[in-house]
Structure 1
Amino acid sequence: MSIHERGVKPPLKPDADALKKAPTPPRYLDRHAKAEWRRIMPQLIGRRVITRADLAGVENYCIQIGYVRQIEEQRAAAGSAIDPKLFGVLNRAAQTARQLAAEYGLSPTSRARIGAAQPADDDDDNPLSV
């Protein structure tokens, strides 16, 4: 591996074992996590990047988003007062959710990676292409 490839994630590609239908959200998820599951699952199924083996990671992503939304609801109900302990939990949950979102192509940058994996258009007259 060259030093130029360090930290570069491979592009997401359709998986041969990709799920064809979105499973129902797990019962133990709270309402916010279930709402996130229902929001993202059609995208993941449509891109054919999610398999049964990936569902635990998707569950964790949804749980983290659920924490963020629940804490925000509590903050709003408390008159927008910020509890430093809850802010720390929110911050860690948001960071974890962001990292997991990138794994599954749920962020703009990771979606751009997916687009980069598609074959280039052969109609270009690029003199440098071989």
Structure 2
Amino acid sequence: MKGRKAAPQPPSDEAALARCPAPPRWLSPYAKAEWRRQAPDLYRRRLLGVDTLGVLETYCTAYGMLRSYHERLAADGIMTEGAEGKPNQAAKMILAAAREVRLYAAELGLGPHRRGVRGAGTPKPDEKGGDDDAWDPSLLA
């Protein structure tokens, strides 16, 4: 599907949470840290509801896996030990996890362009609001 995606919508009143939830116990330490970093912002922006908790859990899990794979790659090196010197599989796993993190972050509205933050050099919309449908080059970043 081409074009701009719709901005994340606040959860309905029945799906809204009374308070920002703590991270699930089963998350890894990296995933819990990411939950503690993102959940309060999502809650404050009224984007965290019962219907989005699973997406946040999956995002945090993928983020925790990404960090773990980076550690493994840093510890083992790009090439694994052995006569053949095969590439470390952690490099492939990093790419897959990074793709998942990016997709779920977009789903949750975590990117700067989703929060309405404009990058340096990006023109501001005119006072009359006529620039709402204009091309936003920060979407490519």
TM-score when normalising by structure 1: 0.74
Matched with 2:82 is: none
**Contact 1:25–1:37 (CA<8 Å) still a contact in 2?**
yes
Does structure 2 conserve the Cα–Cα contact (< 8 Å) formed by 1:20 and 1:45?
no
- Structure number with greater CO (CA < 8 Å, separation at least 6) is 1
Q: What amino acid maps onto 1:13 in structure 2?
A: Q
**Kept in 1: contact 2:73–2:91 (CA 8 A):** no
Measured in 1, the distance between the counterparts of 2:43 and 2:18 equals 6
Percent of paired sites with the same residue: 38
2:10 aligned with 1:14: yes
The aligned counterpart of 1:112 is 116
Match of 1:52 among 50, 53, 58: 50
Instruction: Report runs of 4+ in structure 1 exceeding 6 Å deviation.
Output: none
Say if 1:20 and 1:48, in contact at 8 Å, map to a contact too. Answer: no
Letter in 2 for 1:50: L
| Higher relative helix content | 1
Number of matched pairs: 110
CA distance in 1, matches of 2:24, 2:98: 21
What displacement does 1:32 show?
0.4
Q: Which runs of 5+ in 1 are unaligned?
A: 114-123
Give the residue type in structure 2 aligned to 1:15.
P
Q: Which range is displaced more, 12-21 or 90-99?
A: 12-21
- Residues 31 and 61, structure 2, Cα contact 8 Å, conserved in 1: yes
Write the letter of the residue equivalent to 1:93. Answer: A
Paired residues for 1:31-110 under 5 Å: 31-78=29-76, 81-82=77-78, 83-110=87-114
Matched AA of 1:112: G
Is there any run of 5+ residues in structure 2 with no aligned partner, and where?
A: 79-86, 118-126, 131-141
